[in-house]
Chains A and B, each alone.
Chain A
Amino acid sequence: MSVPWEAGRAWAIAKKDMRIYYLKPPTIMFGIFFPAFLFLSFAVGRNIPLTELIPGLMAITVFFTSSSIGPVVIPWERRTGSFERLLSAPVSLISVLAGKTLAGFFFGVSVSLVIIILYSGPCFSDNGVRW
């Protein structure tokens, strides 16, 4: 089948995952709380400027948030049997996985954006801001 077809189906799967799983407890746990607390454990009590902490936080967030969708959703759907629904649909396995990956990608991007927006003020206006 054609590339636009496969892309369209992958996008449908990604949208579905975003709507259903972004607010699930395990996703929030691994995608938001985990990087946040990891960040705090680095930051609290140390005299490190925010400008140096933010890149670290970004790295942690991008890694954990993006990878919090697939490993949660795939076992979840395999258990309920709905993963088979995707496998028996007229799409290749690559597109199914691409859909799942896209959902993770957008989760990573959006959480990272929140961090950038929250801290862009203090970071860029005054490099001397301390935690």
Chain B
Amino acid sequence: MKDMAAINVSNLTKYFGQLCAVNQISFSVRKGEIFGFLGPNGAGKTTIIRILSGLTSPTSGSAKILGYDVKHHAIEARMRIGIVPEVSNLYEEYSAIDNLLFTGELYGISRKRRIEMAGELLHIFGLYEKRNEKVVKFSKGMKRQIVLSMALMHEPDVLFLDEPTSGLDVHSSRKIKGIITGLREKGVTIFLTTHLMEEANQLCDRIAIIDHGKIAAIDTPEGLKGTIESVQSVEVTFSEAITIQALKDIPGVAKITGERTSFRLYTATPKVVIKGVVTFADSKGLEIMSINTLGPTLEDVFVEITEGGHR
């Protein structure tokens, strides 16, 4: 049972009737990393989380969490995971602390320990003062924080977050992101889905882009951006106006936009272009007022990879 991967998925397939929601997916998540799943609505992100948390059984293929098969060793696997689903599914009739205490009891934590842990978590989220208020009165952001703390009650090794910050205000989502980063430092493996590029870029060590039930790309945020090099560009501003034609001779340039003094040169090799621009400016006696390289954003990558999708 010595398996170094926190999550190991191989050839996972799930059919809903005729619809193939997940198609022969394989990937593994290392211990202690933040792994992001990025994809359009209906790409199969939630289905994969549901399979990994044992709520849906796969049509074929296998999924292991810390070496425990989610189907055959379901209880052992579930003991080690915490889940924050897309919808905040807490007990609205219960107070904040009762929600936490019940979750603790469900995971078999001793009475003393669960009271301690609930207090600690409520302090971390800054909701201790409101612990005895019914959560039905809580804001969306507060409910989300309670759901996250419920998922942390049994100190899971692997945490699943299904769109943890969607629809939240800046303060709540920052607080949640801060806590996610804090958890990584404690060695918790985090698997999150999102369609916010910026969030994936900030938080994730590695990102898988999923579309039509298949993994389209899997890499670090930087690696993914590098895969579509044509979107890299150099932005330059000269001291005097020149024609766009004059820049055509710079080596490595794929496309040029702009006019008069400022131009944007699209390229696969920004370094070569910068040198070219400098030589060009020197030869014409022009001064360079500013020069910037602009990498592709994760959004560019995402659109590029999932292009042609009809959702």
Contacts and interface: CB of A to CB of B under 8 A. Distances in A.
Interface of A: 1, 5, 8-9, 12-13, 15-16, 19-20, 80-82, 84-92
6 contacts: A9-B105, A81-B88, A82-B91, A85-B83, A88-B81, A91-B106
Contacts of A82: 89-91
Contact of A9 (B81, B98, B106, B150): B106
B89 A85 contact: yes
Given A16-B102, A81-B89, A88 B78 contact: yes
B89 A84 contact: yes
B62 interface: no
Given A8-B108, A12-B102, A19-B94, 11 more contacts: A1-B75, A5-B108, A16-B91, A16-B94, A16-B102, A80-B92, A81-B87, A84-B55, A85-B83, A88-B53, A90-B107
A87 B74 CA distance: 11
Interface of B: 53-55, 75-76, 78-79, 81, 83, 85, 87-94, 98, 102-103, 105-108, 150
Contact of B105 (A1, A5, A12, A87): A12
A9 B108 contact: yes
Given A9-B106, A84-B55, A92 B75 contact: yes
Contacts of B93: 20
A94 B87 CA distance: 25
Nearest to B54: A88
Nearest to A4: B108
Contacts of B88: 81
Looking at chain A's contact residues, is the secondary structure mostly helix, strand, loop, or mixed? helix
A13 B76 CA distance: 19
A87 B88 CA distance: 15
B102 A80 contact: no
A86 B106 contact: yes
A19 B106 CA distance: 15
Nearest to A96: B106
A118 B88 CA distance: 43
A80 B54 contact: no
Contacts of B98: 19
A89 B107 contact: yes
Contacts of B76: 90
Nearest to B87: A81
A90 B108 contact: yes
Nearest to A1: B75
A87 B55 contact: yes
A81 B162 CA distance: 14
